[in-house]
Amino acid sequence: MRREKNKNYLILLALLLTGFVFSFGNKANAGNCAWVSPIVIPPNTTHCPGASYVGYTAQENSVCTGQGLTAPSVFAECCCDPASIGITVRKDCSWQVADLAGKCSNNSLIPILPDKTCSDSGHGDRPAATDRGSFICCCGTPALDAKPAAILNNPFDDLNVPVPGLYDSMGCKYDQSTKKYTCPKVNCEGAAGNATCVVPWIGQYLVAIYNYALIIIGSIAAVTMMAGGIIWLISGSNASRMKTAKEMIFGSISGLVIMFSSYMLISIINPDILILKPLVIGYIEKLDPVLDGSDSQTNAAGGASCLSDSQLVSIKSKLTTVASDPRLSADAVSGLDKAIEEASKQGVQLEVTSANRGYNTQKRLWDEQLAKFGGDAAKTRKYVADPANCTGNKCYSHCAGVAVDICIKGTASCSKLSAANATYSDDNVKKLQDIMKKAGWVRYCGEWWHFQYGMPPGKACSP
């Protein structure tokens, strides 16, 4: 009886000691911090559990030791009331998929470490990696006025042959009215010249195809196995049929084992092999393939005194022209006569589309381009010169009456006088350049149709 009582006392003492250790590990505090054992139930972890620690957040262990709290022998983490120790819980943090450079998918946010910054914000522990990539804790307020550098359409919208599970993995929405799927687009974000596009489509598509293949293979194996069983049942004493049935059943089972065991083996060795990360593609803004236009600030270098109306000579009687002001300087007219004579020798006629351009015309062109580029004067100067270059002694090019935009009349090249066709060339363009060169004109490099006489352009080309 005494032994039994002693045994009971020992059990009670052990329970008391266990409770003491647990209570010490679960709550050893000084002020507003305490060592608290988290509740770990994979895949989730509850930090700072218990009614006594509502609002407490996990901190670095040094915070507790700095307050004189000795770390317990059992596993515990330092939990503190953030406000009491001067720590503010961030409410602008969340888990986001990281790109290959380890940056937040939203470039306006900043990756924050450690992970508990997000868990303290109420977002739980780091989510498991998916086919989109791994997650990191990102904090900050996204720029509301930030516009993507580009938007890429999803090429898998409304496939003719839908792949089961693909639209769900992509987050596509089905429109009942159009009977079509609309999938999320990709925003290419980042500063100009440094924007990136995170494209998950290819990985998502391959994963969907793989899963679809598993279903097909599994179905074929099941049908083959059933067929083998039926053959076996009706084979009777026919050894040949029984052998065929066994081979079909064994083959089906072997195929299923290989299919599923290979997946499990790879996932055990390196699960990342099965995670097809999104492609991170640098976005390059569309560049103008030509030099600055002939009417740009680049070509406004130098200049001469502007001509009065009495100093300008009409060219309407000399050739076909659709220019709004078909006049040139007397010197340029003499050069045009030479070009007309040379063109006649080669059996063609010339057509001038633009000649003289006064201040008012230049001002109108400037204002139109300035509005087009949202008030960006620097970009506007790449296409139109400042009207100030059409006044006083700084007149240049068209404003000085020494430039023409010209083509061979009746040819396809006459419809190619635009910035998009600045580098256009064909036999007639080459013939025009030969004619103008022989007549003493110099071409501006940025446009095949622009020639100047007696005033070299800012960037001259030959012919």
How many CB atoms neighbour CB 305 within 10 A? 11
- Domain range for 134: 93-139
The answer to whether residue 382 sits within a structural domain is: yes
The answer to whether residue 442 sits within a structural domain is: yes
| Last residue of one domain, picked from the residues 238, 273, 308 | 273
The CA-atom distances, in angstroms, between 95 and each of 108, 133, 275 are 14, 12, 18
326 and 236 co-located in one domain:
no
| Last residue of one domain, picked from the residues 201, 218, 242 | 201
pLDDT digits (tens, 9 = 90+) for 288-343: 444 445 556 566 555 677 888 888 999 999 999 988 889 999 999 999 999 999 99
In sequence order, the 6+-apart residues with CB closer than 8 A to the CB of 404 are: 328, 332, 336, 352, 354, 355, 450, 451
99 and 75 co-located in one domain:
no
Number of H helices, E strands in the chain: 10, 23
**Residue spans of alpha helices (H) in 357-413:** 359-372, 377-380
Pairing relationship of beta strands 350-354 and 320-321 according to DSSP bridges? parallel
Q: How many CA atoms lie within 13 A of 143 on its CB side?
A: 12
In angstroms, the CA 328 to CA 312 distance is 5
319 and 417 co-located in one domain:
yes
HEC profile of 435-452: HHHHCCCEEECCCCCEEE
pLDDT digits (tens, 9 = 90+) for 251-296: 888 888 888 787 778 777 776 666 666 777 777 665 444 444 555 6
The CA-atom distances, in angstroms, between 24 and each of 10, 35, 61, 351 are 21, 8, 16, 97
The answer to whether residue 286 sits within a structural domain is: no
Per-residue tens of pLDDT for the chain, all 463 residues: 444 544 444 443 443 333 333 333 333 444 577 887 765 544 445 667 766 777 777 776 777 776 677 777 556 777 777 666 655 555 667 777 776 556 665 554 555 555 666 766 666 677 776 655 677 777 665 444 445 666 777 777 777 777 887 787 777 788 888 888 888 777 776 655 567 777 777 777 887 888 888 888 888 988 999 998 898 888 877 888 888 888 998 888 888 888 878 777 877 777 666 666 677 777 766 544 444 455 565 665 556 778 888 889 999 999 999 888 899 999 999 999 999 999 999 999 999 998 988 888 888 888 888 888 788 888 887 777 778 778 777 787 888 888 899 999 999 999 988 877 888 899 999 999 999 999 999 988 878 898 989 887 766 676 5
Which pair of structure tokens corresponds to residue 287? Answer: 């560049």
175 and 261 co-located in one domain:
no
Give the residues across from 452 on adjacent strands. 403, 442
Please return the burial class of 330, using the count of CB atoms within 10 Å of its CB with bins 0-12, 13-18 and 19+: exposed
265 and 376 co-located in one domain:
no
302 and 442 co-located in one domain:
yes
134 and 191 co-located in one domain:
no
